[in-house]
Structure 1
């Protein structure tokens, strides 16, 4: 977190003050709570120890208690797909600072079963609401949000690249665990590729992947990949996924998985094809066989714009473009495991007073059930609502910044 000021005991200290680590260490493990001073008299935080360093973290379910201008602010989780997952699929322990995640996809497979034939319940087949576990797409949305890539302000323009994506995704995984295993141990985010460092990068990759190579156990471990798609192409025996920053390491997939991926994420492929500056982000599980060949086991896709902000359709892209071009600050709502026919706030403006404003887009094909669900969501929210019925009307005037 940045741009924060805290009260720790009798001390008032900024997030970038070199004395902060010492102060955090002095209260770690005690009942004393640092206060974020974005509001008076302060919002309680807690201290966690991660990889040998002390960090200050937001208390669970308090994002909306912070000032909208504070980096710790988050709107109510019910405005996105995050709400149903808190406390079940996502369990945060303030005692040790570790967040436990429950996945609905496998991170291992039986030794006798070929990679790519894992389960009929894969993310590539469907996305469904499941408050007990995270789908692949939900996991990608969660890590994207934890890394801060759903957040935008004018100061961020031109500052996001794969180097930044790689760094902050790995940081987001540091305090997460799955089935008692650190998420960082199973997450693979390719480092930025450089032709001059190609051999060194390949050696580091081989060392990383050796952890999941086929051993003598009855189950093979799978890694969780997040990368940018360069292409999905025909191969001699099926198809292959080529990830940017992994140009010399294609990942194979069988025809069945490829066909399901194309069908389930037809909209994402269409957007990626239509929007010149869009990136296609893949999350998937893959294993490495005895020959060293990597095979994709399950996958999901997400389209992001040139600023790495996710968008679901061209109406949302138009809204995000208008906001960024106007110098606005906002949060992008993420769907997680919600089905496409369930409403969520597309964007939450952070630069309006006295409260943020939630922006909703109703697509042309939405029916009466969608309208009723949207009315209920708006009625339960603390935030003022702006609604654009896309296709039937021009984009309404966006509430001005204060």
Structure 2
């Protein structure tokens, strides 16, 4: 159990008194200190929907013990390192995060739709100063904690849980003069008994951006996050049919659909060929005065049945193996990072020193190998590398008890050793 120091008092994470103490220091100069390390690590307090929570200070995730819920691998092991501090700017003094987006949240009349997910290309536009639409999805997934896995999470993730924590993750995230939560639409889990109420709440939320009679200038857009049920032909083009939204579809023109299928061919093919996966869409959309929604830009992400993102069949096999073996790990997310650049497939957090797991893609060239070698050589963590086209999956690093031993010793208790 994580212990915090607040002022001169020590309190455990699950204590009933913790939130009262956080409310008392919210807005003050007093910071809670996480004691997962003997020296302690400062954190800060945020208020979300009337409740108080502890958050990491910027760039301190790697300072926490790997077993601590606040631990994060070094940002440079994923695409986060490219955008943190530029496209993502945290301000712990006021508890907000500013997001700089590469895509627009307004639609000028007559403007053509942009290339779907164009932020993933290795171009000057994606130098890390702005988030692509896929990168925004990765950021929210990261903030909601769905890139993390431990055995205790088995069977506890569904669309209701995802929606709750993604919406919570969007709070206090500001972009283009608005709070992201006010621009985000995530469908409610469908229930036949609640069908009418769900439809009424959806209409009320989307009416805030609906095009009005005589409206001039740019139209407002919202951001959709939904699981794809089908990308189907419509009378004049195509439509996104989302799960939990069988009675409400999102139109897309033929050109957008063509470019989407080309750009996200891997994600679509992985989802189609592997049972139990989820294909998650993020899109900007507008609503006309008739109440019809049309997509302007869109990105896709494929996940396991436990909603952990993956990019290839070898990654899926690794994640499945780690899950079956009841390992604790954190999945690396790409954000804006080009597909030709290496990143951590996973970081094991149940080894004495966090172990970064890399998969060398079949057919990757010398430039990729050099970049991977630089990541491994410059890391303070242990490394594990798999070449799927050359070998079977190497043995997984063993679970270590040294971290638990150190923590219990710090508390004055020595755990029993086995074996």
Give your verdict on TM over 0.5.
Answer: yes
The answer as to whether partners of 1:311 and 1:317 remain within 8 angstroms in 2 is yes
Q: Given the alignment, which residue of 69, 72, 83 partners 2:70? A: 72
Structural mapping, 1:1-400, within 5 Å:
3-110=1-108, 112-113=109-110, 117-120=112-115, 122-123=116-117, 127-128=121-122, 129-215=126-212, 216-353=215-352, 355-400=353-398
Listed as ranges, the gaps of 5+ residues in structure 2 are 401-419
User: Could you tell me how far 1:17 is from its partner in structure 2?
Assistant: 1.8
Deviation at 1:42, TM superposition (A): 1.2
Displacement of 1:143 in angstroms is 0.3
Distance (Å, rounded) in 2 between the aligned partners of 1:378 and 1:323 = 21
**Per-residue CA distance 1:172-217 (angstroms, 9 max, x = gap):** 0112111221110001111101111111100000000000101335
How high is the TM-score relative to the length of structure 1? 0.96
Q: Kindly indicate whether the alpha-carbon contact (under 8 Å) linking 1:7 and 1:34 is maintained by their aligned counterparts in 2.
A: yes
Cα deviation for residue 16 of structure 1 reads 2.4
Superposition deviation, residue 267 in structure 1:
0.4
Is contact 2:118-2:132 (8 Å) kept?
A: no
Indicate conservation of the 8 Å contact 2:360/2:387, yes or no.
yes
Report the alpha carbon displacement of residue 344 of structure 1 after superposing the two structures with TM: 0.4
Residue 46 of structure 1: how far off its partner (Å): 1.1
Does the 8 Å CA contact 1:125/1:264 hold for their aligned counterparts? no
The verdict on how the C-alpha distance between 1:379 and 1:70 changes in structure 2, with shifts beyond 3 A counting, is same
- What CA distance in whole angstroms lies between the structure 1 residues aligned with 2:389 and 2:275? 22
Shift of 1:269: 0.8
Number of residue equivalences: 395
User: 1:130 deviation in Å?
Assistant: 2.6
Once residues 217 and 80 of structure 1 are traced to their aligned partners in structure 2, the CA distance between those partners, rounded to angstroms, is: 42
Over aligned residue pairs, what C-alpha RMSD do you find? 1.3
Q: Aligned partners of 1:321 and 1:390: how far apart in 2?
A: 15
What is the alpha-carbon distance in structure 2 between the residues aligned to residue 363 and residue 235 of structure 1?
37
Decide whether the 8 Å contact of 1:125 with 1:260 is kept in 2.
no
Alpha-carbon separation, structure 2, partners of 1:272 and 1:69: 32
Does the 8 A contact of 1:239 with 1:253 survive in 2? yes
Q: CA deviation at 1:48?
A: 2.3
CA contact (8 A) 1:82 1:335 kept: yes
Structure 1, unaligned runs of 5 or more: none
Distance, in Å, in 2 between the alignment partners of 1:8 and 1:147 is: 25
User: Structure 1 residues 125, 82: closer, same or farther in 2, change over 3 A?
Assistant: closer
CA distance, structure 2, for counterparts of residue 190 and residue 132 of structure 1? 30
Q: Is the Cα contact below 8 Å between 2:186 and 2:224 reproduced in 1?
A: yes
- Distance in 2, matches of 1:174 and 1:310, equals 22
Q: What secondary structure sits across from 2:207 in the alignment?
A: helix
**Contact preservation (8 Å) 2:98, 2:174:** yes
